[in-house]
Amino acid sequence: MDVTRIDQIAIAVEDLDEAIAFYQRAFGLEVASRERIESDGVEEAMLDVGGVWIQLLAPTRDDSPVGRFLARSGPGLHHLGFGVADVADALDHLREEEVALIDTEPRPGGGGHTIAFVHPKGTGGVLVELVQDEGHGGHEG
């Protein structure tokens, strides 16, 4: 498996509008896309920083992974997204290396991307998302 890029740095927030306003005001970043992902119970906003995305994630329900994260840890860094050529191949490689997985098969993610999550207990405490390269350099707005 070859990691091709850092796709995103995901930050869990309690209020998406408030977080967007802060990143615009403090850092001059603009929202490239905003999407509600019902299957994950989140609303996301993607902000481009030189080809790496800041992904702001707010829960749409308390029992979502981001909702549980916020209840446990409060706002902050949620996960790191790595671009890979093929998520299925990456999962096969990680299984061979006996790395703990959350998703055992690729699945749809935000922006129509193919994704899978790697369990933090297999990566030294960091939740990792694998994002398949779609021929356009990762997330697009």
Give the gyration radius of the chain's Cα atoms.
15
Burial state string for 37-61 with b = 16 or more CB within 10 A and e = fewer than 16:
beebbbbbbbbbeeebbbbbbbbee
Confidence tier at 3 by pLDDT (50, 70, 90): very high
Joined together, the tokens standing for residue 59 give 């829960």
Query: Count of domains in the chain?
Result: 1
* 27 belongs to a structural domain: yes
pTM assigned to the model: 0.88
Amino acid 140 reads E
* 21 belongs to a structural domain: yes
| pLDDT of 90 strictly over 80 | yes
Q: Which of 132, 129, 67 is nearest to 102 (CA)?
A: 129
* DSSP one-letter code for 41: T
Q: Which of 139, 97, 134 is nearest to 119 (CA)?
A: 97
Q: Which residue has the tokens 């299925």?
A: 88
| CATH (domain of 45) | 3.10.180.10
* 88 belongs to a structural domain: yes
Could you give phi then psi for residue 36, rounded to 5 degrees? -100, 125
* 132 belongs to a structural domain: no
- Residue scoring higher pLDDT (121 or 1): 121
**C-alpha to C-alpha distance for 110 and 136, rounded to whole angstroms:** 15
* DSSP one-letter code for 28: -
pLDDT value for 135: 54
What is the residue-wise DSSP string for 124-138? TS--EEEEE--SSSS
pLDDT, tens digit (0-9, with 9 covering 90-100), for 45-69:
999 999 999 999 999 999 999 999 9
Confidence tier at 95 by pLDDT (50, 70, 90): very high
| pLDDT of 129 strictly over 60 | yes
**C-alpha to C-alpha distance for 93 and 39, rounded to whole angstroms:** 26
C-alpha angle 17/80/4, rounded to 5°?
Answer: 125
| pLDDT of 139 strictly over 60 | no
* 40 belongs to a structural domain: yes
* 136 belongs to a structural domain: no
Enclosing domain of residue 8: 3-112
